[in-house]
Structure 1
Amino acid sequence: MTAALLEWGAPADRAGLAVLAVHGRGQDPAFMRATARRLGTAPVRFFAPEAEGNTWYPLSFLEPVERNQPALDRSLRTVEACLDQLAQAGFDGGRVVLWGFSQGACLLAHLVLTTPRPVAGLVLFTGGYLGTVPPSRPDDHVLRGVPVVLRSIEHDPWVPRHRVEETAGLLRQAGAEVDLRIDPGTEHVITDEACTAATELLTTKAQGEHVSVRKRG
């Protein structure tokens, strides 16, 4: 399975990290590219898939998981295929940050909690795991030490605060280092502070990877 990816950012041979950017419902990769301009500059290359019909699953992420099937499993396979493509391009899991907004953040949160695999970091803007029952805590330590930036709005119309907080708790239980902030407000938006926090994560991880490559060389 091969996914078409919109690419931008630093040239692949000079990028310290790859960022898999997953859009929300009714959006497309162009939205993530426009939002990436708010993240400042970092030596990273962005890769963004597009959901069929611009939605990764049909109903609310708060519905039982089975009600969002088979679209949910198909979308999870798409993300996994993207990660395989990045690995083939030279970006193994330790050099990939997962970044999602809204439905994209929900999809990524669900993926890492149900099928954990090595990643360099997570940036989740306004999202949480899917379903009515929390996923079982991953017990293979894949997420141990992984930095996570998790941001949301207190009275977001689509994503309740409690689900964001529950997702942060599950990630912490799995060993991730979670930076959670929920700002006041009622709109479904990405704040400037969220973009600043994401930029700091990307810059720190990318610079660390450059140092690691020099040492190996």
Structure 2
Amino acid sequence: MSDADPHAGQPVEHRGPSLADAERAVILLHGRGARAQGMLGFADDLPSEGTAFVAPQAARATWYPNSFLEPTEENEPWLSSALGLVSDVFADVTEHVPADRVALLGFSQGSCLGSEFVARNPQRFGGFVAFSGGLHGPEGTTHDYDGDLDETPVFLGCSDRDPHIPEERVHETRDVFESMNADVTERIYEGMGHTVNEDELEHAADILGSL
């Protein structure tokens, strides 16, 4: 691990068929303090036949050191390194599976990272699922992203009282993705806390099942 690129060379976990044999793929992004191996458990709740699940591991189990609500520069170079790793994994996956059959799914910090990756690399993805997350930046940030997501299906799910993710940031993220021509579904769950519920998993399964 280098100071300039802390996530360089991090391992990537796999579950399901090889990418060469897969009909679709899902890139799974774990939360702070978690492990890539744990994210592969989502395969039990999602359409798995013909699906390659790919989960990169963050260095020291964190994608960036501070809250996603801090100024972006406060999370550098970790954030740029994390985005670079996701980009490398996406490039590896799309050597075998078309981008419009590749979905990204993140929880918590991984959801925030995924939101930034999708917004900064607009194209037709197979889908993006954000469990408890949103775009980076402090309150009042103007999220100016150019590009067309070409009706990529996006699901944003979060609690109305999540201790880490303000509800308003979820709404802001929804608005940004809609302005970029994504097909966005947002669900805010009363009193849920910082977790994933069955309704969210069903929405994610619907996106993957449509690929």
Calculate the TM-score normalised by the size of structure 1: 0.87
Closer, same or farther: CA 117–144 of 1 in aligned 2, 3 Å: closer
Q: Offset of 1:118 from its aligned partner?
A: 3.7
Counterpart selection for 2:177 from 171, 174, 189: 171
Counterpart selection for 2:142 from 134, 147, 153: 134
* Alignment root-mean-square deviation, CA: 1.6
* Contact 2:99/2:124, CA 8 A, preserved across alignment: yes
Counterpart selection for 2:22 from 6, 12, 15: 15
Q: Offset of 1:119 from its aligned partner?
A: 1.5
| Structure 2 counterpart of 1:209 | none
| Structure 2 counterpart of 1:208 | none
* Contact 2:123/2:150, CA 8 A, preserved across alignment: no
Give the paired residue count. Answer: 202
Calculate the TM-score normalised by the size of structure 2: 0.89
* Contact 1:25/1:103, CA 8 A, preserved across alignment: yes
- Residues 89-108 of structure 1: pairs in structure 2 closer than 5 A: 90-108=96-114
Counterpart selection for 2:92 from 85, 89, 94: 85
Closer, same or farther: CA 187–121 of 1 in aligned 2, 3 Å: same
Uncovered stretches (5+) of structure 1, i.e. residues with no partner:
206-217
| Structure 2 counterpart of 1:33 | 40
Q: Offset of 1:188 from its aligned partner?
A: 0.7
Q: Output the amino acid matched with 1:43.
A: G
Q: Output the amino acid matched with 2:210.
A: T
Q: Output the amino acid matched with 1:136.
A: D
Q: Output the amino acid matched with 2:144.
A: S
Segment of structure 1 superposing worse, 168-177 or 9-18: 9-18
Uncovered stretches (5+) of structure 2, i.e. residues with no partner:
1-7
Q: Output the amino acid matched with 1:166.
A: E
Q: Offset of 1:42 from its aligned partner?
A: 4.5
Higher helix residue share: 1
Closer, same or farther: CA 121–146 of 1 in aligned 2, 3 Å: same
